[in-house]
Amino acid sequence: MTSVPQAFLQESSRLLVSDYLPKIERCLEGLSDGDVWWRANEASNSIGNLVLHLCGNVTQWIIGGVGGRPYERHRQQEFDERTAIAAGELLRRLRAVVEEAGEVIGGLEGDALLTRRQIQAYDVTVLEAIYHVVEHFGMHTGQIILLTKARTGTNLRLWQPPGAAFV
């Protein structure tokens, strides 16, 4: 029988790896690089900026903060970037970060959830750090979906299993 802490860890990893990431993949696969870097105005983020920001957030909070692995983050650059990094490269980066985060989460024991970490000037438990990242990733996934629908006018059919044709 799975314990509550193990269920939390498994579901957190599942959401990042098998739910949110495939939705972002579906979005980026249907966009031109111009669409990926389009922004409504200077106060808004492009999909490209959001992907870079997700990479930075997951790296800092899970890979570095929870996993204790070395990392380097330049948070403001995630939002300031204007170079049109290709959608394929953005996806490669995001997949690598999410895969490593899944390894970190998968390697945790339930009793680790209440240990404390100092992350981005916050004193949090491992549970709080993971919960923050899952919520944050889900919020930005929704923004990426909205921007993709606005740029393409397409039903993304996100209810279809990953790998189904983009329509």
Q: Which residues of 66-93 are buried (b: 16+ CB within 10 A; e: fewer)?
A: bbeeebebeeeebeebeeebebeebbeb
- When divided into structural domains, the chain yields a total of 1
The whole-angstrom separation of Cα 137 and Cα 50 is 10
The whole-angstrom separation of Cα 84 and Cα 34 is 7
- For residue 26, give the CATH number of its domain: 1.20.120.450
Residue 78 placed within a domain: yes
Residue 159 placed within a domain: no
Residue 167 placed within a domain: no
pLDDT, tens only, 13-69: 999 999 999 999 999 998 999 999 999 999 999 999 999 999 999 999 999 999 999
Residue 134 placed within a domain: yes
Residue 158 placed within a domain: no
Phi, psi of 122 (to 5 degrees): -110, 140
Residue 165 placed within a domain: no
Q: Which residues of 5-26 are buried (b: 16+ CB within 10 A; e: fewer)?
A: beebbeebbebbbebbbbbbbb
Query: What is the pTM (predicted TM-score) of this model?
Result: 0.92
pLDDT at 102: 97
